[in-house]
Amino acid sequence: MRLLIIILSILALIACKQPENSAPEITLQKTSNHFSIVAIGELEAVKSTPITASAKTQRPQTIAWVIEQYSYVNKGDVIIKFDGVPFQLEIDAAQYEMNRLLFTRSTKERELNLSIEDFNNEEAVVDFEYLMAQKFNIDNPMLYTKIEMIDAADNEEFLQAKSKYLNKMEGHYKDKSDSEVGLIDSQSQLQQAKVDMNQSNMEQLEVRAPHSGIIVLKKGWDGNIPQAGKSIFPGVKLASLPDLTQMQAKIYVPEIEAVGIKTDQLVEIKLHAFPDLLFTGVVTQVSKTAQPKKRDNPVKYFIITVVLNEQDKTRLLPGQRVDATIYTSEKTESIVVPIQTIFRDGDKSWVFLKDKNTRQFSKKSINTSICSTSQCVIQSGLVADDIIALTEPDNNLLETK
């Protein structure tokens, strides 16, 4: 009976004992490390000669033929040919319109000459009648009645007024005809300007290389390089002739991963075509904003420009795909913790530190320095061999001072 009481007492003590916090934990150690970001990109030349579509035409042009990407060209070689059929059709239409206007002008001039001749003939008749009326003026009351004398005087005034009217109408008609002919001439000049412009465009259908080099066709807004059948707007950059003596890499870093990147940081570059070769460089430029690489993809990227320290004309070619490792911190001995172990509220940061005696977790204030998307360097608040919780414990004590 006594033994049974002792057993029951032990069980009661175990049941009343405060349960120990249970949470995944990690023991901290100082390690030699530095943060880095891995991203992909492509090579491009620091300097290159741009090749653009002619800006003289006012409408898109259709590519009829284009040289293959990364082809070597000599000075004067044809790079791109545009379709000249639309320009030739416009020339034919303008020349037809000019011939039509020329015929209309000739018709107007012929009508003007005939009308002026009619006016002149009518004026000659009126002038002759007026002279006859003056010569045989009826002003003798002994020979003619009063009514006959009045009719004769009225007829003379009428012929004089009619002569003035015909002169005036001839002038108005000539001015009107001259205006119509002038309008036809201006329309003909407009059509001639169209012919000249399109003939100039016909002479510029071929885009030639300004000097020797490797052609790099530029991708458009849709991500595709120029190809036959594609419409190109005036002044658009079509390709470039890069200077291979100095190359750089354009690295695309996702917006959520671009933490701590700045100029002058070390970058290691590996080519997809030559993975065993390692090149180095430094960050020279970071884009101010993140932009999508493709219109149908909402993921945004920061563009990082890296100038290479080593140069190799045979391997470092424009358009080569590369893997880049950007080191955002120097290599130091420090305590690094997973970022999910750190809890923040405003400017305060803490972790849950395990007491080695009580085995309980409690809040511990800390200060951090450099952080990446997955880890943080502890500046103060923790030391080696400390044990912290990977997640928030179920029951924790008050903050440790």
Q: Pick from 293, 309, 327: which residue ends a domain?
A: 327
Taking only the tens place, the pLDDT of each residue in 273-332 is: 999 999 999 999 999 999 998 777 889 999 999 999 998 888 898 889 999 999 988 777
In terms of domains, do 275 and 369 share one?
A: no
Q: Are strands 61-66 and 231-232 parallel, antiparallel or unpaired?
A: antiparallel
Q: Within this chain, do residues 319 and 367 fall inside the same structural domain, yes or no?
A: no
**Taking a C-beta distance cutoff of 8 angstroms, is the pair 341, 390 a contact?**
yes
Number of structural domains (the chain) is 4
pLDDT band at 259 (very low <50, low <70, confident <90, very high): confident
Our CA angle for 314, 319, 322, nearest 5°, is 85
β-sheet bridge partners, residue 31: 334
Query: Residue 73 domain-assigned?
Result: yes
**301, 327, 353 — which closes off a domain?**
327
Question: If DSSP codes are grouped into helix, strand and coil, which group holds residue 232?
Answer: strand
Please give the pLDDT value at position 396: 52
Confidence (pLDDT) at 14: 42
Residue 237 located in a structural domain = no
Nearest alpha-carbon partner for 336 in 368, 309, 291, 313 = 368
DSSP class of residue 246 equals: S
**DSSP three-state, residue 276:** coil
Q: Is 238 inside a domain boundary?
A: no
Residue 213 — pLDDT band, cuts 50, 70, 90? Answer: confident
Q: Distance from CA of residue 340 to its chain's centroid?
A: 40
In a domain, 13, yes or no: no
Look at residue 153 and tell me whether its pLDDT is greater than 60.
no
Residue 161 lies in a domain: yes
Within-domain flag for 353: yes
- Which residues span the domain enclosing 133? 87-197
Highest average pLDDT, of 37-46, 127-136, 214-223, 369-378, comes from: 37-46
Query: Is 92 in the same domain as 109?
Result: yes
Task: Compute the distance between CA of residue 42 and CA of residue 331 in angstroms, rounded to an integer.
Answer: 27
Q: List the 78-82 sheet strands across, edge first.
A: 206-208, 78-82, 61-66, 231-232
Q: Is the pLDDT of residue 344 over 80?
A: yes
Can you give the pLDDT at residue 6? 44
Q: What is the pLDDT of residue 129?
A: 63
pLDDT digits (tens, 9 = 90+) for 233-249: 888 889 999 988 889 99
Distance CA 270, CA 81 (A): 36
> Do 249 and 303 reside in the same domain of the chain?
yes
Q: Which residues contact 105 (CB under 8 A, 6 or more apart)?
A: 181, 184, 185, 188
Please report whether residue 283 resides in a domain. yes
Please tell me the predicted confidence (pLDDT) of residue 271.
95
Give the CATH number, domain containing residue 219.
Answer: 2.40.50.100
On whether both 191 and 149 belong to a single domain, the answer is yes
Residue 77 backbone phi and psi in degrees, to 5: -70, 145
Q: Which structure tokens are listed for 250? A: 């354009």
| Residue at which a domain ends, from 170, 197, 224 | 197
Q: How much is the CA Rg of the chain, to the nearest whole Å?
A: 47
Mean pLDDT, to the nearest integer, of 383-389?
88
Q: Tell me the H-state helices in 305-382.
A: none
Asked if pLDDT for residue 203 goes beyond 60, the answer is yes
Same domain, 145 and 59: no
Token pair, residue 369, equals: 């320095």
Are 59 and 109 found together in one domain? no
- pLDDT at residue 142 greater than cutoff 50: no
CATH of the domain at 301: 2.40.30.170
Amino acid 156: pLDDT: 60
Query: How many angstroms separate the CA atoms of 145 and 140, rounded?
Result: 9
Q: Are 43 and 56 within one domain?
A: no
| Helix residue ranges per DSSP H, 203-339 | none
User: Are residues 220 and 303 both part of a single domain?
Assistant: no
What is the predicted pLDDT for the residue at 8? 40
Per-position DSSP letters for 119-177, written without gaps between them:
HHHHHHHHHHHHHHHHHT----TTTS-HHHHHHHHHHHHHHHHHHHHHHHHHHHHHHHH
End-to-end CA distance of the chain: give it in Å, rounded: 50
pLDDT at 50 over 60: yes
CATH of the domain at 161: 1.10.287
**% pLDDT > 90, the chain:** 29
Query: 350 vs 40, 341, 345, CA distance in Å?
Result: 35, 9, 9
Q: Within a domain: residue 15?
A: no
Residue 22 CB neighbours (<10 A)? 11
* pLDDT at residue 146 tops 80: no
**pLDDT (mean) for 169-198:** 84
pLDDT of residue 143: 45
